[in-house]
């Protein structure tokens, strides 16, 4: 992910702040879904938002992974039908691993994508 973000920054006029909290390995299917969703969100920033700053955070908890992708771009009206497949593909991909995607945006307000994915609890850790 870090390498992809570095390359993305070099091709775009935006800076990405990446933060990862309590990182651990994930099942391959989960890792791929998260990676693809972050790629799609950054592609949307490139194509549509005119953002100068993007924050990507991954917070690992014992039972879930929470991902926030936030930009300071132009935002969009969530009530208007999307022209592309990006948002739908994000929802389908995360849904396939039993996660959820929330999108918050408004014209002139930037966009925030919030992904929450359930994770298997590591051995030796009690469920809360």
Asked whether residue 18 is assigned to any structural domain, the reply reads: yes
Q: Supply angle C-alpha 46, 52, 58, rounded to 5.
A: 80
The parent domain of residue 82 ranges over: 2-118
Find the CATH number of the domain harbouring 92.
Answer: 3.30.565.10
Contact residues for 50 (Cβ-Cβ < 8 A; gap 6+): 73, 74
Helix (H, G, I), strand (E, B) or coil at 119: coil
Burial (CB < 10 A; 0-12, 13-18, 19+), residue 41, is buried
- Report yes or no on 27 lying in a domain: yes
Is there a domain that residue 128 lies in? no
Cα gap 12→26, rounded to integer Å: 29
pTM: 0.90
Q: What share of the chain is helix, strand, coil (3-state, %, to 5)?
A: 35, 30, 40
102 is a domain residue: yes
For residue range 59-107, what is the model confidence (pLDDT) as tens digits?
999 999 999 999 999 999 888 876 678 889 999 999 999 999 999 999 9
Mean pLDDT of the chain: 91
pLDDT in tens, 96-126: 999 999 999 999 999 999 999 999 755 665 5
In the chain, the number of structural domains is 1
Q: Return the pLDDT at 86.
A: 84
> For residue 63, is it within any domain?
yes
């Amino acid at each position: 992910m870090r390498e992809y973000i570095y390359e993305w920054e070099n091709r775009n006029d935006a800076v990405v702040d990446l933060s990862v909290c309590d990182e651990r390995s994930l099942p391959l299917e989960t890792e791929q879904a998260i990676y693809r969703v972050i790629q799609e969100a950054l592609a949307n920033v490139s194509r549509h938002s005119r953002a100068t700053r993007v924050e990507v955070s991954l917070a690992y908890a014992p039972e879930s992974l929470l991902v926030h992708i936030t930009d300071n771009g132009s935002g969009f009206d969530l009530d208007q039908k999307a022209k592309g497949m990006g948002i739908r593909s994000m929802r389908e991909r995360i849904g396939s691993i039993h996660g959820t995607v929330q999108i918050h945006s408004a014209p002139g307000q930037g966009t925030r994508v919030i992904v929450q994915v359930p994770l298997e609890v590591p051995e030796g850790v009690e469920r809360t």
